[in-house]
A and B are shown apart, each in its own frame.
Chain A
Amino acid sequence: KAGVTQTPRYLIKTRGQQVTLSCSPISGHRSVSWYQQTPGQGLQFLFEYFSETQRNKGNFPGRFSGRQFSNSRSEMNVSTLELGDSALYLCASRPGLSTNEKLFFGSGTQLSVL
């Protein structure tokens, strides 16, 4: 069974631009969550989607948004990029919200904002 797939692996953008990151969960997994990882901050929760609905949200500004499609694939969008948005963005999937606590992670998208 294929793992969690994130594309692209690397991305370079400039301030003010917007970016869209993609995450394909493990087949059969309906929950997708996103995390921002920066040195010294660890992983910070962005949001989680289940059945195309946002179920949980972290403390990030409205520039960070996401969505989930009917096939459970998810996209994360960041508008008006700032230098501080440079980070590794990790996506994780799990079968559901109440059936399994284990997260399966992708290899992330490394975003650099210049």
Chain B
Amino acid sequence: AQTVTQSQPEMSVQEAETVTLSCTYDTSESNYYLFWYKQPPSRQMILVIRQEAYKQQNATENRFSVNFQKAAKSFSLKISDSQLGDTAMYFCAFMLRQGGGYQKVTFGTGTKLQVIP
């Protein structure tokens, strides 16, 4: 079974600064996706960024980038130039590709990020 661990329950960052959220996962498989989802107070989960395990290049989406260390099973999220709208719960997630399909998603327990003006 796959597990996802987020060891930082809460974090804060000053507006315009950079913050890194940590995530580690455990799997014996080699074909999978990793995600970071954001959940603002509206409760709707929004995909921030995703990374295919077989791609060595780290994914980037505007101010969001990841540091994917496959051997260490680490997948951290870096938010640059933090904005007030980044205040939210952030979930790291893992999806296994198996049998020609994408299997259920396993989520971490989340990191609550507060951006301070």
Do the beta carbons of B109 and A106 come within 8 Å of each other?
A: no
A33 within 8 A of B: yes
Do the beta carbons of B106 and A45 come within 8 Å of each other?
A: yes
Do the beta carbons of B91 and A43 come within 8 Å of each other?
A: yes
**A41 neighbours in B (Cβ, 8 Å):** 109
How many of chain B's residues touch chain A, expressed as a range?
Answer: 20 to 34
Known: A42-B109, A101-B33, A101-B50. A108 touches B104 (CB 8 A): no
Do the beta carbons of B50 and A102 come within 8 Å of each other?
A: yes
Q: Which of A20-28, A60-68, A73-81, A90-98 is found at the contact surface with chain B? A: A90-98
CB within 8 Å: A-B pair count: 53
Do the beta carbons of B102 and A98 come within 8 Å of each other?
A: yes
**A45 neighbours in B (Cβ, 8 Å):** 104-106
A114 within 8 A of B: no
B44 within 8 A of A: yes
| B-to-A contact residues, CB < 8 Å | 6, 33, 37, 42-47, 50, 91, 95, 97, 100-110
A-B CB proximity, top 4 nearest: A105-B45, A42-B109, A43-B107, A97-B101
